[in-house]
Structure 1
Protein backbone atom coordinates (compact mmCIF):
# COMPACT_ATOMS: atom_id res chain seq x y z
CA UNK A 1 0.00 0.00 0.00
CA UNK A 2 1.51 3.32 -1.11
CA UNK A 3 0.41 6.13 1.20
CA UNK A 4 1.32 9.77 1.46
CA UNK A 5 2.80 11.79 4.29
CA UNK A 6 0.47 13.32 6.87
CA UNK A 7 2.07 16.52 8.15
CA UNK A 8 1.31 19.08 10.83
CA UNK A 9 3.20 22.38 10.83
CA UNK A 10 3.03 25.02 13.55
CA UNK A 11 -0.24 23.69 14.98
CA UNK A 12 -1.58 25.60 17.98
CA UNK A 13 -4.83 24.95 19.82
CA UNK A 14 -6.32 26.50 22.94
CA UNK A 15 -9.53 26.05 24.86
CA UNK A 16 -10.03 29.37 26.56
CA UNK A 17 -6.87 30.13 28.53
CA UNK A 18 -5.68 26.52 28.31
CA UNK A 19 -3.15 26.08 25.50
CA UNK A 20 -3.46 22.41 24.56
CA UNK A 21 -1.07 22.28 21.58
CA UNK A 22 1.91 24.60 21.21
CA UNK A 23 3.49 25.25 17.80
CA UNK A 24 3.51 21.53 17.04
CA UNK A 25 5.28 19.97 14.04
CA UNK A 26 4.81 16.33 13.06
CA UNK A 27 5.36 14.17 9.98
CA UNK A 28 3.69 10.75 9.80
CA UNK A 29 5.65 8.72 7.29
CA UNK A 30 3.95 5.89 5.37
CA UNK A 31 4.28 2.24 6.26
CA UNK A 32 4.97 2.46 9.99
CA UNK A 33 3.20 1.72 13.26
CA UNK A 34 3.34 4.76 15.53
CA UNK A 35 2.59 4.85 19.22
CA UNK A 36 1.30 8.13 20.62
CA UNK A 37 1.68 8.37 24.39
CA UNK A 38 1.23 11.15 26.90
CA UNK A 39 -0.31 11.92 30.25
CA UNK A 40 -3.99 12.75 30.66
CA UNK A 41 -4.58 16.22 29.26
CA UNK A 42 -1.38 16.21 27.19
CA UNK A 43 -3.39 16.89 24.01
CA UNK A 44 -3.35 13.47 22.33
CA UNK A 45 -7.01 13.31 21.30
CA UNK A 46 -7.00 16.98 20.31
CA UNK A 47 -3.98 16.37 18.08
CA UNK A 48 -5.54 13.32 16.44
CA UNK A 49 -8.83 15.12 15.83
CA UNK A 50 -6.97 18.03 14.18
CA UNK A 51 -4.91 15.68 12.01
CA UNK A 52 -8.17 14.20 10.71
CA UNK A 53 -10.03 17.52 10.26
CA UNK A 54 -12.49 16.71 13.04
CA UNK A 55 -11.38 19.71 15.09
CA UNK A 56 -10.21 23.20 14.22
CA UNK A 57 -6.85 24.72 15.12
CA UNK A 58 -6.00 28.27 16.09
CA UNK A 59 -3.03 28.41 13.71
CA UNK A 60 -0.85 26.13 11.61
CA UNK A 61 -1.66 23.67 8.85
CA UNK A 62 -2.25 19.95 8.35
CA UNK A 63 -1.60 18.40 4.95
CA UNK A 64 -1.77 15.01 3.30
CA UNK A 65 0.50 14.66 0.28
CA UNK A 66 1.06 18.40 0.44
CA UNK A 67 -2.64 19.34 0.32
CA UNK A 68 -4.71 20.61 3.23
CA UNK A 69 -6.94 18.00 4.85
CA UNK A 70 -9.54 20.63 5.74
CA UNK A 71 -12.66 20.24 3.56
CA UNK A 72 -10.67 17.89 1.34
CA UNK A 73 -12.61 14.66 0.95
CA UNK A 74 -9.99 13.18 -1.38
CA UNK A 75 -7.43 13.41 1.43
CA UNK A 76 -9.84 12.26 4.15
CA UNK A 77 -10.72 9.15 2.12
CA UNK A 78 -7.22 7.95 2.98
CA UNK A 79 -7.52 8.58 6.75
CA UNK A 80 -9.58 6.75 9.37
CA UNK A 81 -9.84 8.08 12.92
CA UNK A 82 -11.60 5.46 15.03
CA UNK A 83 -12.24 7.06 18.38
CA UNK A 84 -13.84 5.81 21.56
CA UNK A 85 -17.60 5.42 21.31
CA UNK A 86 -19.84 6.95 23.95
CA UNK A 87 -22.95 5.31 25.47
CA UNK A 88 -24.69 8.69 25.65
CA UNK A 89 -25.09 11.55 23.19
CA UNK A 90 -26.18 15.15 23.74
CA UNK A 91 -29.78 14.05 23.19
CA UNK A 92 -29.66 11.09 25.60
CA UNK A 93 -28.67 7.42 25.29
CA UNK A 94 -26.75 6.45 22.16
CA UNK A 95 -29.44 4.33 20.53
CA UNK A 96 -27.59 4.00 17.23
CA UNK A 97 -26.96 0.37 16.39
CA UNK A 98 -23.64 -1.23 15.55
CA UNK A 99 -24.86 -1.84 12.01
CA UNK A 100 -25.41 1.92 11.58
CA UNK A 101 -21.71 2.55 12.23
CA UNK A 102 -20.73 -0.25 9.85
CA UNK A 103 -23.02 1.00 7.10
CA UNK A 104 -21.74 4.55 7.50
CA UNK A 105 -18.12 3.39 7.38
CA UNK A 106 -18.78 1.32 4.26
CA UNK A 107 -19.98 4.48 2.50
CA UNK A 108 -17.23 6.75 3.80
CA UNK A 109 -14.14 4.57 3.26
CA UNK A 110 -13.42 3.55 -0.36
CA UNK A 111 -11.35 0.53 0.75
CA UNK A 112 -13.89 -0.77 3.26
CA UNK A 113 -13.64 -4.57 3.61
CA UNK A 114 -17.13 -5.87 4.34
CA UNK A 115 -16.02 -9.50 4.49
CA UNK A 116 -13.37 -8.66 7.08
CA UNK A 117 -15.91 -6.65 9.07
CA UNK A 118 -18.24 -9.66 9.18
CA UNK A 119 -15.43 -11.94 10.33
CA UNK A 120 -14.56 -9.54 13.15
CA UNK A 121 -18.21 -9.27 14.17
CA UNK A 122 -18.25 -13.04 14.59
CA UNK A 123 -14.89 -13.23 16.35
CA UNK A 124 -15.82 -10.43 18.78
CA UNK A 125 -19.32 -11.93 19.25
CA UNK A 126 -20.97 -8.60 18.47
CA UNK A 127 -24.64 -8.42 17.53
CA UNK A 128 -24.95 -5.74 14.81
CA UNK A 129 -28.53 -5.03 15.90
CA UNK A 130 -27.45 -3.99 19.39
CA UNK A 131 -27.53 -0.34 20.38
CA UNK A 132 -24.30 1.31 21.51
CA UNK A 133 -25.94 2.22 24.82
CA UNK A 134 -26.43 -1.51 25.49
CA UNK A 135 -22.75 -2.39 25.08
CA UNK A 136 -20.10 -2.75 27.76
CA UNK A 137 -17.01 -0.55 27.58
CA UNK A 138 -15.02 -3.48 26.21
CA UNK A 139 -17.61 -4.16 23.52
CA UNK A 140 -17.55 -0.51 22.45
CA UNK A 141 -13.78 -0.81 22.11
CA UNK A 142 -14.26 -3.89 19.92
CA UNK A 143 -16.54 -1.86 17.63
CA UNK A 144 -13.92 0.89 17.26
CA UNK A 145 -11.25 -1.73 16.49
CA UNK A 146 -13.50 -3.38 13.91
CA UNK A 147 -14.21 -0.05 12.20
CA UNK A 148 -10.52 0.82 12.08
CA UNK A 149 -9.25 -2.49 10.75
CA UNK A 150 -12.04 -2.98 8.20
CA UNK A 151 -11.75 0.62 6.95
CA UNK A 152 -8.75 -0.25 4.80
CA UNK A 153 -7.65 3.38 5.18
CA UNK A 154 -4.05 4.16 4.25
CA UNK A 155 -3.59 5.95 7.58
CA UNK A 156 -5.56 4.33 10.38
CA UNK A 157 -5.70 6.05 13.77
CA UNK A 158 -7.01 4.44 16.95
CA UNK A 159 -7.53 6.44 20.14
CA UNK A 160 -7.36 4.27 23.29
CA UNK A 161 -8.52 1.16 21.40
CA UNK A 162 -7.98 -1.29 24.26
CA UNK A 163 -9.93 0.60 26.93
CA UNK A 164 -12.09 -1.87 28.81
CA UNK A 165 -10.59 -4.95 27.15
CA UNK A 166 -9.16 -7.80 29.20
CA UNK A 167 -5.58 -8.92 28.63
CA UNK A 168 -6.59 -11.71 26.23
CA UNK A 169 -8.50 -9.35 23.97
CA UNK A 170 -5.76 -6.73 24.16
CA UNK A 171 -3.25 -9.30 22.95
CA UNK A 172 -5.66 -10.35 20.20
CA UNK A 173 -6.05 -6.74 19.04
CA UNK A 174 -2.30 -6.24 18.71
CA UNK A 175 -2.00 -9.51 16.79
CA UNK A 176 -4.78 -8.44 14.42
CA UNK A 177 -3.05 -5.11 13.93
CA UNK A 178 0.30 -6.77 13.17
CA UNK A 179 -1.33 -9.24 10.79
CA UNK A 180 -3.03 -6.39 8.93
CA UNK A 181 0.19 -4.39 8.83
CA UNK A 182 2.15 -7.34 7.44
CA UNK A 183 -0.46 -7.78 4.72
CA UNK A 184 -1.07 -4.15 3.73
CA UNK A 185 1.88 -2.12 5.11
CA UNK A 186 -0.54 0.70 5.87
CA UNK A 187 0.22 3.30 8.50
CA UNK A 188 -1.18 2.95 12.02
CA UNK A 189 -1.19 5.48 14.85
CA UNK A 190 -2.23 4.03 18.21
CA UNK A 191 -2.81 6.23 21.24
CA UNK A 192 -2.82 4.30 24.51
CA UNK A 193 -2.21 4.56 28.25
CA UNK A 194 -1.28 0.87 28.49
CA UNK A 195 2.26 1.40 27.30
CA UNK A 196 4.40 -1.60 28.04
CA UNK A 197 2.34 -4.33 26.41
CA UNK A 198 2.08 -2.19 23.26
CA UNK A 199 5.74 -1.17 23.17
CA UNK A 200 6.87 -4.14 21.08
CA UNK A 201 4.28 -3.24 18.43
CA UNK A 202 5.37 0.39 17.99
CA UNK A 203 8.08 0.99 15.40
CA UNK A 204 8.16 4.66 16.32
CA UNK A 205 6.95 6.39 19.43
CA UNK A 206 5.68 9.95 19.72
CA UNK A 207 5.68 11.36 23.26
CA UNK A 208 3.43 14.36 23.83
CA UNK A 209 3.91 16.37 27.00
CA UNK A 210 2.11 19.59 27.93
CA UNK A 211 1.12 20.25 24.32
CA UNK A 212 4.56 19.66 22.82
CA UNK A 213 6.14 16.68 21.09
CA UNK A 214 9.23 15.95 23.17
CA UNK A 215 10.19 12.73 21.37
CA UNK A 216 9.52 11.26 17.93
CA UNK A 217 11.94 8.39 17.43
CA UNK A 218 12.42 4.74 16.60
CA UNK A 219 11.24 2.92 19.72
CA UNK A 220 14.28 0.68 20.20
CA UNK A 221 16.73 3.51 19.59
CA UNK A 222 14.98 5.74 22.12
CA UNK A 223 14.78 3.10 24.86
CA UNK A 224 18.46 2.20 24.40
CA UNK A 225 19.46 5.72 25.49
CA UNK A 226 18.08 5.20 29.02
CA UNK A 227 19.34 3.28 32.06
CA UNK A 228 18.92 2.99 35.81
CA UNK A 229 22.17 3.42 37.72
CA UNK A 230 22.18 2.44 41.39
CA UNK A 231 24.63 1.82 44.20
CA UNK A 232 26.58 3.74 46.82
CA UNK A 233 25.75 7.44 46.60
CA UNK A 234 29.26 8.69 45.83
CA UNK A 235 29.91 5.98 43.24
CA UNK A 236 26.59 6.70 41.50
CA UNK A 237 27.42 10.41 41.39
CA UNK A 238 30.71 9.63 39.66
CA UNK A 239 29.05 7.25 37.20
CA UNK A 240 26.41 9.83 36.30
CA UNK A 241 28.87 12.57 35.37
CA UNK A 242 28.15 13.69 31.81
CA UNK A 243 24.78 11.91 31.72
CA UNK A 244 21.37 13.57 31.82
CA UNK A 245 19.89 12.65 35.19
CA UNK A 246 16.10 12.51 34.96
CA UNK A 247 15.05 10.85 38.23
CA UNK A 248 16.74 10.37 41.58
CA UNK A 249 15.88 8.26 44.61
CA UNK A 250 17.93 8.07 47.78
CA UNK A 251 17.61 5.73 50.75
CA UNK A 252 20.32 6.31 53.31
CA UNK A 253 23.62 6.12 51.41
CA UNK A 254 22.06 4.16 48.53
CA UNK A 255 21.13 6.11 45.42
CA UNK A 256 19.32 5.24 42.20
CA UNK A 257 19.17 7.48 39.15
CA UNK A 258 17.31 7.28 35.88
CA UNK A 259 19.67 8.62 33.23
CA UNK A 260 19.94 9.28 29.52
CA UNK A 261 23.09 9.24 27.44
CA UNK A 262 24.87 8.04 24.34
CA UNK A 263 26.17 4.49 24.00
CA UNK A 264 29.70 5.72 24.76
CA UNK A 265 28.57 7.61 27.86
CA UNK A 266 26.63 4.62 29.18
CA UNK A 267 29.62 2.35 28.57
CA UNK A 268 31.80 4.77 30.54
CA UNK A 269 29.33 4.70 33.45
CA UNK A 270 29.53 0.89 33.53
CA UNK A 271 33.20 1.12 34.55
CA UNK A 272 32.22 2.30 38.02
CA UNK A 273 31.16 0.08 40.92
CA UNK A 274 27.44 0.49 40.26
CA UNK A 275 24.51 -1.60 39.09
CA UNK A 276 23.12 -0.66 35.68
CA UNK A 277 19.72 -1.86 34.51
CA UNK A 278 17.77 -1.19 31.31
CA UNK A 279 14.55 0.79 31.12
CA UNK A 280 11.47 -0.22 29.18
CA UNK A 281 9.31 2.25 27.25
CA UNK A 282 7.02 2.83 30.22
CA UNK A 283 10.03 3.65 32.43
CA UNK A 284 11.30 6.06 29.76
CA UNK A 285 7.91 7.75 29.56
CA UNK A 286 7.73 8.23 33.34
CA UNK A 287 11.30 9.55 33.43
CA UNK A 288 10.56 12.11 30.70
CA UNK A 289 7.03 13.13 31.70
CA UNK A 290 6.84 12.44 35.43
CA UNK A 291 8.13 15.93 36.28
CA UNK A 292 9.44 14.60 39.57
CA UNK A 293 6.30 12.63 40.44
CA UNK A 294 8.26 9.40 40.59
CA UNK A 295 11.39 10.85 42.13
Structure 2
Protein backbone atom coordinates (compact mmCIF):
# COMPACT_ATOMS: atom_id res chain seq x y z
CA UNK A 1 0.00 0.00 0.00
CA UNK A 2 1.84 3.07 -1.24
CA UNK A 3 -0.46 5.66 0.24
CA UNK A 4 -1.73 5.48 3.75
CA UNK A 5 -4.89 7.30 4.75
CA UNK A 6 -8.01 5.96 6.39
CA UNK A 7 -10.87 8.44 6.42
CA UNK A 8 -14.13 8.57 8.27
CA UNK A 9 -16.63 10.95 6.65
CA UNK A 10 -19.91 12.02 8.21
CA UNK A 11 -20.15 8.82 10.22
CA UNK A 12 -23.32 8.29 12.23
CA UNK A 13 -24.31 5.08 14.00
CA UNK A 14 -27.72 4.41 15.49
CA UNK A 15 -29.01 1.46 17.47
CA UNK A 16 -32.76 1.90 17.29
CA UNK A 17 -33.46 5.44 18.45
CA UNK A 18 -30.13 5.79 20.26
CA UNK A 19 -27.40 7.59 18.30
CA UNK A 20 -24.01 6.28 19.44
CA UNK A 21 -21.87 8.21 16.93
CA UNK A 22 -22.83 11.56 15.46
CA UNK A 23 -21.37 12.99 12.25
CA UNK A 24 -17.82 11.84 12.99
CA UNK A 25 -15.10 13.07 10.62
CA UNK A 26 -11.66 11.60 11.21
CA UNK A 27 -8.47 11.05 9.24
CA UNK A 28 -5.84 8.50 10.25
CA UNK A 29 -2.45 8.68 8.53
CA UNK A 30 -0.13 5.77 8.01
CA UNK A 31 2.89 5.64 10.29
CA UNK A 32 1.44 7.06 13.52
CA UNK A 33 0.36 5.77 16.91
CA UNK A 34 -2.96 7.27 17.96
CA UNK A 35 -4.50 7.18 21.40
CA UNK A 36 -8.30 6.94 21.37
CA UNK A 37 -9.64 8.14 24.69
CA UNK A 38 -13.20 8.42 25.94
CA UNK A 39 -15.45 7.56 28.83
CA UNK A 40 -17.40 4.33 28.95
CA UNK A 41 -20.17 4.56 26.40
CA UNK A 42 -18.49 7.30 24.36
CA UNK A 43 -18.54 5.10 21.24
CA UNK A 44 -14.89 4.03 21.02
CA UNK A 45 -15.46 0.34 20.31
CA UNK A 46 -18.28 1.14 17.90
CA UNK A 47 -16.04 3.55 16.00
CA UNK A 48 -13.23 1.02 15.67
CA UNK A 49 -15.62 -1.71 14.58
CA UNK A 50 -17.00 0.50 11.82
CA UNK A 51 -13.54 1.64 10.72
CA UNK A 52 -12.64 -2.03 10.28
CA UNK A 53 -15.92 -2.87 8.49
CA UNK A 54 -17.06 -5.23 11.25
CA UNK A 55 -20.10 -3.05 11.80
CA UNK A 56 -22.09 -1.06 9.21
CA UNK A 57 -22.53 2.68 9.54
CA UNK A 58 -26.02 4.15 9.65
CA UNK A 59 -24.77 7.15 7.66
CA UNK A 60 -21.44 8.24 6.21
CA UNK A 61 -18.54 6.26 4.79
CA UNK A 62 -15.10 4.84 5.59
CA UNK A 63 -12.47 5.22 2.89
CA UNK A 64 -9.01 3.70 2.57
CA UNK A 65 -7.03 5.72 0.05
CA UNK A 66 -10.31 6.93 -1.44
CA UNK A 67 -12.01 3.54 -1.67
CA UNK A 68 -14.84 2.33 0.55
CA UNK A 69 -13.79 -0.42 2.97
CA UNK A 70 -17.28 -1.91 3.26
CA UNK A 71 -17.37 -5.34 1.59
CA UNK A 72 -14.00 -4.52 -0.01
CA UNK A 73 -11.75 -7.55 0.51
CA UNK A 74 -8.68 -5.82 -0.91
CA UNK A 75 -9.00 -2.82 1.41
CA UNK A 76 -9.68 -5.02 4.42
CA UNK A 77 -6.36 -6.81 3.94
CA UNK A 78 -4.79 -3.67 5.38
CA UNK A 79 -7.05 -3.25 8.44
CA UNK A 80 -7.33 -5.34 11.60
CA UNK A 81 -9.33 -4.70 14.76
CA UNK A 82 -8.06 -6.68 17.77
CA UNK A 83 -10.89 -6.84 20.24
CA UNK A 84 -11.32 -8.73 23.47
CA UNK A 85 -11.53 -12.49 23.04
CA UNK A 86 -14.81 -13.92 24.31
CA UNK A 87 -13.85 -17.05 26.21
CA UNK A 88 -17.26 -17.63 27.79
CA UNK A 89 -18.65 -21.16 27.62
CA UNK A 90 -21.32 -19.99 25.18
CA UNK A 91 -18.70 -18.62 22.77
CA UNK A 92 -17.99 -20.54 19.57
CA UNK A 93 -14.24 -20.43 20.27
CA UNK A 94 -14.26 -21.24 23.99
CA UNK A 95 -13.24 -24.86 23.43
CA UNK A 96 -10.42 -24.05 21.01
CA UNK A 97 -6.84 -24.42 22.13
CA UNK A 98 -4.56 -21.41 21.78
CA UNK A 99 -2.65 -23.09 18.94
CA UNK A 100 -5.93 -23.74 17.09
CA UNK A 101 -6.98 -20.12 17.50
CA UNK A 102 -3.62 -18.96 16.14
CA UNK A 103 -3.94 -21.37 13.20
CA UNK A 104 -7.30 -19.84 12.28
CA UNK A 105 -5.82 -16.35 12.58
CA UNK A 106 -2.91 -17.27 10.32
CA UNK A 107 -5.32 -18.51 7.64
CA UNK A 108 -7.65 -15.54 7.94
CA UNK A 109 -5.05 -12.76 8.01
CA UNK A 110 -3.18 -12.40 4.68
CA UNK A 111 -0.04 -10.75 6.08
CA UNK A 112 0.42 -13.09 9.05
CA UNK A 113 3.93 -13.20 10.51
CA UNK A 114 4.38 -16.66 12.01
CA UNK A 115 7.88 -15.93 13.31
CA UNK A 116 6.71 -12.85 15.21
CA UNK A 117 3.74 -14.77 16.61
CA UNK A 118 6.04 -17.50 17.96
CA UNK A 119 8.39 -14.93 19.49
CA UNK A 120 5.52 -13.25 21.31
CA UNK A 121 4.06 -16.55 22.50
CA UNK A 122 7.42 -17.37 24.14
CA UNK A 123 7.83 -13.87 25.57
CA UNK A 124 4.40 -13.94 27.20
CA UNK A 125 4.78 -17.59 28.29
CA UNK A 126 1.48 -18.53 26.67
CA UNK A 127 0.57 -22.21 26.82
CA UNK A 128 -0.47 -23.14 23.26
CA UNK A 129 -2.19 -26.28 24.50
CA UNK A 130 -4.49 -24.38 26.86
CA UNK A 131 -8.11 -23.88 25.86
CA UNK A 132 -9.51 -20.36 25.42
CA UNK A 133 -12.09 -20.89 28.16
CA UNK A 134 -9.28 -21.65 30.63
CA UNK A 135 -7.29 -18.46 29.96
CA UNK A 136 -7.11 -15.77 32.62
CA UNK A 137 -8.06 -12.20 31.72
CA UNK A 138 -4.38 -11.32 31.38
CA UNK A 139 -3.54 -14.33 29.22
CA UNK A 140 -6.54 -13.59 27.00
CA UNK A 141 -5.24 -10.02 26.52
CA UNK A 142 -1.78 -11.39 25.67
CA UNK A 143 -3.28 -13.64 23.00
CA UNK A 144 -5.17 -10.69 21.55
CA UNK A 145 -1.91 -8.71 21.41
CA UNK A 146 -0.08 -11.58 19.70
CA UNK A 147 -2.68 -11.76 16.93
CA UNK A 148 -2.81 -7.97 16.54
CA UNK A 149 0.94 -7.58 16.11
CA UNK A 150 1.43 -10.74 14.01
CA UNK A 151 -1.40 -9.64 11.69
CA UNK A 152 1.02 -7.07 10.21
CA UNK A 153 -2.02 -5.02 9.12
CA UNK A 154 -1.02 -1.49 8.12
CA UNK A 155 -3.89 -0.14 10.21
CA UNK A 156 -4.16 -2.05 13.47
CA UNK A 157 -6.69 -1.15 16.16
CA UNK A 158 -6.42 -2.39 19.76
CA UNK A 159 -9.30 -1.96 22.20
CA UNK A 160 -8.10 -1.95 25.84
CA UNK A 161 -5.12 -4.20 24.99
CA UNK A 162 -3.58 -4.17 28.48
CA UNK A 163 -6.76 -5.11 30.38
CA UNK A 164 -5.83 -7.66 33.01
CA UNK A 165 -2.07 -7.33 32.48
CA UNK A 166 0.23 -6.63 35.41
CA UNK A 167 2.67 -3.74 35.31
CA UNK A 168 5.56 -5.86 33.97
CA UNK A 169 3.46 -7.29 31.13
CA UNK A 170 2.13 -3.84 30.28
CA UNK A 171 5.67 -2.49 30.03
CA UNK A 172 6.60 -5.42 27.77
CA UNK A 173 3.65 -4.65 25.53
CA UNK A 174 4.54 -0.96 25.20
CA UNK A 175 8.15 -1.77 24.29
CA UNK A 176 7.14 -4.45 21.78
CA UNK A 177 4.61 -2.11 20.19
CA UNK A 178 7.21 0.65 19.79
CA UNK A 179 9.71 -1.80 18.30
CA UNK A 180 7.14 -3.05 15.80
CA UNK A 181 6.05 0.48 14.96
CA UNK A 182 9.64 1.63 14.40
CA UNK A 183 10.45 -1.37 12.22
CA UNK A 184 7.26 -1.51 10.17
CA UNK A 185 5.83 2.01 10.06
CA UNK A 186 2.35 0.62 10.69
CA UNK A 187 -0.47 2.74 12.08
CA UNK A 188 -1.81 1.80 15.50
CA UNK A 189 -4.93 3.12 17.21
CA UNK A 190 -5.02 2.21 20.89
CA UNK A 191 -8.15 2.67 22.96
CA UNK A 192 -7.27 2.63 26.65
CA UNK A 193 -8.37 3.85 30.07
CA UNK A 194 -4.80 3.66 31.40
CA UNK A 195 -4.01 7.06 29.93
CA UNK A 196 -1.10 8.44 31.94
CA UNK A 197 0.89 5.23 31.55
CA UNK A 198 0.48 5.14 27.76
CA UNK A 199 0.64 8.83 26.83
CA UNK A 200 4.30 8.68 25.75
CA UNK A 201 3.29 6.21 23.03
CA UNK A 202 0.79 8.50 21.34
CA UNK A 203 1.95 10.79 18.57
CA UNK A 204 -1.61 12.04 18.33
CA UNK A 205 -4.51 11.79 20.73
CA UNK A 206 -8.21 11.61 19.90
CA UNK A 207 -10.80 12.47 22.54
CA UNK A 208 -14.20 10.95 21.79
CA UNK A 209 -17.04 12.35 23.87
CA UNK A 210 -20.71 11.46 23.62
CA UNK A 211 -20.25 10.08 20.13
CA UNK A 212 -18.35 13.08 18.74
CA UNK A 213 -14.69 13.90 18.16
CA UNK A 214 -13.95 16.52 20.79
CA UNK A 215 -10.24 16.85 20.04
CA UNK A 216 -7.61 15.39 17.71
CA UNK A 217 -4.15 16.87 18.23
CA UNK A 218 -0.45 16.19 18.41
CA UNK A 219 0.06 14.92 21.95
CA UNK A 220 3.27 16.80 22.68
CA UNK A 221 1.88 20.11 21.42
CA UNK A 222 -1.26 19.64 23.51
CA UNK A 223 0.82 19.02 26.64
CA UNK A 224 3.12 21.97 25.94
CA UNK A 225 0.23 24.43 25.53
CA UNK A 226 -1.84 23.33 28.51
CA UNK A 227 -1.48 23.91 32.24
CA UNK A 228 -3.45 24.00 35.46
CA UNK A 229 -3.69 27.57 36.67
CA UNK A 230 -4.41 28.51 40.25
CA UNK A 231 -4.16 31.60 42.38
CA UNK A 232 -6.06 34.61 43.65
CA UNK A 233 -9.37 34.94 41.84
CA UNK A 234 -8.77 38.43 40.44
CA UNK A 235 -5.28 37.52 39.23
CA UNK A 236 -6.54 34.34 37.54
CA UNK A 237 -9.39 36.22 35.86
CA UNK A 238 -6.93 38.72 34.41
CA UNK A 239 -4.55 35.98 33.26
CA UNK A 240 -7.13 33.88 31.42
CA UNK A 241 -8.59 36.65 29.27
CA UNK A 242 -8.45 35.59 25.62
CA UNK A 243 -7.47 32.02 26.50
CA UNK A 244 -9.39 28.75 26.49
CA UNK A 245 -10.32 27.76 30.02
CA UNK A 246 -11.94 24.54 31.24
CA UNK A 247 -13.21 23.36 34.60
CA UNK A 248 -12.67 26.71 36.33
CA UNK A 249 -13.50 26.39 40.02
CA UNK A 250 -13.71 28.92 42.85
CA UNK A 251 -12.46 27.94 46.28
CA UNK A 252 -12.80 30.82 48.72
CA UNK A 253 -10.82 33.73 47.27
CA UNK A 254 -8.90 31.50 44.87
CA UNK A 255 -9.64 30.05 41.45
CA UNK A 256 -8.21 27.15 39.50
CA UNK A 257 -8.72 25.32 36.22
CA UNK A 258 -7.17 24.16 32.99
CA UNK A 259 -5.97 26.80 30.57
CA UNK A 260 -4.80 26.46 26.96
CA UNK A 261 -2.87 28.98 24.92
CA UNK A 262 -1.87 29.39 21.30
CA UNK A 263 1.40 28.66 19.54
CA UNK A 264 3.92 31.41 20.25
CA UNK A 265 2.49 32.39 23.62
CA UNK A 266 4.67 31.73 26.65
CA UNK A 267 2.70 32.47 29.81
CA UNK A 268 4.70 32.66 33.00
CA UNK A 269 3.82 32.10 36.62
CA UNK A 270 3.80 35.13 38.92
CA UNK A 271 3.88 35.67 42.65
CA UNK A 272 0.10 35.20 42.71
CA UNK A 273 -0.33 32.71 39.85
CA UNK A 274 0.80 29.08 39.76
CA UNK A 275 1.06 27.12 36.49
CA UNK A 276 1.41 23.35 36.69
CA UNK A 277 1.98 21.08 33.71
CA UNK A 278 -0.77 18.53 33.17
CA UNK A 279 -0.73 14.89 32.13
CA UNK A 280 -3.01 13.71 29.36
CA UNK A 281 -5.35 12.07 31.85
CA UNK A 282 -5.94 15.33 33.73
CA UNK A 283 -6.53 17.17 30.47
CA UNK A 284 -9.12 14.60 29.50
CA UNK A 285 -10.85 14.89 32.87
CA UNK A 286 -10.94 18.68 32.58
CA UNK A 287 -12.54 18.45 29.14
CA UNK A 288 -14.87 15.50 29.62
CA UNK A 289 -15.07 14.42 33.21
CA UNK A 290 -16.66 17.29 35.08
CA UNK A 291 -20.26 16.39 34.39
CA UNK A 292 -22.90 14.90 36.66
CA UNK A 293 -24.16 12.48 34.04
CA UNK A 294 -22.12 9.34 33.46
CA UNK A 295 -22.36 7.64 30.09
TM-score, structure 2 length as denominator? 0.93
CA offsets 1:2-25 (integer angstroms, 9 cap, x no match) = 452111111100112221100111
Q: What residue is the counterpart of 2:200 in the other structure?
A: 200
Please, which moves more after superposition, 125-134 or 252-261? 252-261
Please, which moves more after superposition, 226-235 or 199-208? 226-235
Q: What residue is the counterpart of 1:23 in the other structure?
A: 23
SS of the residue corresponding to residue 148 of structure 2 reads helix
Q: Structure 1 residues 264 and 119 mapped into 2: Cα distance closer, same or farther (>3 Å)?
A: closer
Q: Do 2:89 and 2:133's aligned partners in 1 also have CA atoms closer than 8 Å?
A: no
Q: Do 1:50 and 1:57's aligned partners in 2 also have CA atoms closer than 8 Å?
A: yes
Whole-angstrom distance in 2 between the partners of 1:132 and 1:287: 40
Whole-angstrom distance in 1 between the partners of 2:106 and 2:150: 9
The CA deviation at 1:263 is 4.4
CA offsets 1:134-162 (integer angstroms, 9 cap, x no match) = 01111100001000111111111111100
SS of the residue corresponding to residue 217 of structure 2 reads strand
Q: What residue is the counterpart of 1:286 in the other structure?
A: 285
1:165 aligns with 2:171: no
Kindly report structure 1 stretches of 4+ aligned residues shifted beyond 4 Å: 89-93, 263-266
Please, which moves more after superposition, 177-186 or 102-111? 102-111
Q: What residue is the counterpart of 2:94 in the other structure?
A: 94
1:127 aligns with 2:127: yes
The CA deviation at 1:130 is 1.3
CA offsets 1:245-282 (integer angstroms, 9 cap, x no match) = 21123332232121122245552x64573111111111
Q: Which structure 2 residue ranges, 5 or more long, are not aligned?
A: none
Whole-angstrom distance in 2 between the partners of 1:205 and 1:116: 28
SS of the residue corresponding to residue 105 of structure 1 reads helix
Whole-angstrom distance in 1 between the partners of 2:244 and 2:204: 22
- Report how many aligned residue pairs link the two structures: 292
Please, which moves more after superposition, 271-280 or 34-43? 271-280
Q: What residue is the counterpart of 1:72 in the other structure?
A: 72
* Cα RMSD (Å): 1.8
Q: Structure 1 residues 92 and 100 mapped into 2: Cα distance closer, same or farther (>3 Å)?
A: closer
TM-score, structure 1 length as denominator? 0.93
Q: Structure 1 residues 218 and 122 mapped into 2: Cα distance closer, same or farther (>3 Å)?
A: same
Q: What residue is the counterpart of 1:136 in the other structure?
A: 136
SS of the residue corresponding to residue 200 of structure 1 reads helix
SS of the residue corresponding to residue 34 of structure 1 reads strand
